């Protein structure tokens, strides 16, 4: 049986653009932490014949236009993660419109790519953002995560499959699509992000198999700064930095070794997800968190 599909997406932002960092009194010892991980990440994706969507903060185009163009040239999708990585609910309506519109045009100019997708920072949404996306020319959103309400996000619509945005909001534009990010069935926590590092690789691998058995394509996400050896910064929570660096690299390798065809987010929004039911390997029964 051919492998089912999955999407490994990258929220392309620097460590310094995290709200947890911006609110902390301490500072990092170097700039643009995480950007240096992109080239080796592209090599890793190539080695597994995986294509990926990079939800990109467009302010990075000012200092790294060649890097963004390289991502697109190597066959990956460029999508928007706003202009400056500000949380949408903390902005005025005019500021939200600018973050959404300017990011799309900036990324398109920097890469020559058509920018169809959007993801809100920290999955924090507003009542007007879907209308703003449609007005700006986006074709899909990936800001819904059907997680329980916990800490900094969650509590969104209980959606698990690609669908029309009207499933998120009945008043949403009819031609806009939604690609929800995957959660662990029952537990209702995301399969990746901080939860991969907190709960261990076998949590994520088990969740991927459970999603596939339900006929769903797992949708995962990672940040480039999670692949860096992060410095200790005063008042940045431990959940942000735990198991970053080499541990996350090994976890990512394990994910890409699974029997899935890793495709872009855009691919999953355009038809049958083709999720398969990969059999667990003996190594997947090791102790939780071991790699």
Does residue 288 form part of some domain?
no
* DSSP states along 57-92: -GGGGGT-HHHHHHHHHTTPEEEE--SS---GGGS-
Domain count, the chain: 1
Tally of residues, the chain: 291
Does residue 130 form part of some domain?
yes
Does residue 223 form part of some domain?
yes
d(CA 233, CA 18): 12
d(CA 230, CA 257): 26
Contact 5, 217 (CB under 8 A): yes
Does residue 57 form part of some domain?
yes
d(CA 244, CA 38): 15
Does residue 287 form part of some domain?
no
Does residue 283 form part of some domain?
no
Domain of residue 14 covers: 4-278
Does residue 165 form part of some domain?
yes
> pTM for the complete prediction?
0.93
From first to last of its 291 residues, the chain has per-residue pLDDT tens of 456 999 999 999 999 999 888 889 999 988 999 999 999 999 999 999 999 999 999 999 999 999 999 999 999 999 999 999 999 999 999 999 999 999 999 999 999 999 999 999 999 999 999 999 999 999 999 999 999 987 767 778 999 999 999 999 999 999 999 999 999 999 999 999 999 999 999 999 999 999 999 999 999 999 999 999 999 999 999 999 999 999 999 999 999 999 999 999 999 999 654 554 444 443 443 433 445
The CATH number of residue 122's host domain is: 3.20.20.370
Does residue 284 form part of some domain?
no
For the chain, how are helix, strand and coil distributed in percent, rounded to 5? Answer: 40, 15, 45
């Amino acid at each position: 049986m051919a492998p089912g599909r999955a999407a490994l997406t990258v929220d392309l932002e620097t460590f310094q653009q995290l709200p947890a960092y911006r609110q902390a009194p301490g500072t990092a010892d170097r700039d643009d932490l995480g950007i240096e991980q992109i080239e080796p990440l592209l090599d890793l994706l190539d080695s597994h014949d995986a294509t990926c969507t990079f939800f990109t903060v467009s302010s990075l185009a000012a200092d790294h236009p060649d890097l963004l163009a390289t991502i697109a040239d190597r066959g990956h999708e460029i999508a928007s993660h706003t202009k400056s990585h500000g949380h949408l609910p903390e902005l005025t309506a005019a500021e939200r419109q600018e973050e959404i519109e300017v990011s799309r045009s900036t990324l398109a100019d920097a890469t020559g790519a058509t920018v169809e997708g959007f993801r809100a920072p920290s999955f924090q949404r507003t009542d007007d953002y879907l209308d703003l996306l449609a007005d700006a020319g986006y074709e899909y959103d990936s800001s819904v995560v059907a997680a329980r309400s916990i800490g900094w996000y969650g509590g969104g619509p209980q959606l698990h499959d690609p669908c029309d945005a009207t499933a998120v909001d009945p008043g949403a534009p009819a031609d806009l699509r939604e690609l929800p990010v995957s959660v662990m069935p029952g537990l209702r926590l995301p399969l990746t992000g901080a939860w991969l590092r907190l709960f261990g690789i076998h949590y994520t691998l088990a969740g991927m198999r459970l999603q596939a058995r339900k006929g769903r394509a797992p949708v995962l996400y990672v940040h480039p700064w999670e692949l860096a050896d992060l410095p200790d910064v005063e008042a940045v929570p431990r959940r942000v930095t735990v198991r970053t660096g080499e541990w996350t690299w090994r976890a990512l390798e394990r994910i890409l070794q699974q029997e899935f065809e890793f495709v872009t987010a855009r691919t999953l929004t355009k038809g049958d997800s083709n999720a398969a039911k990969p059999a667990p390997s003996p190594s997947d029964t090791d102790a939780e968190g071991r790699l």
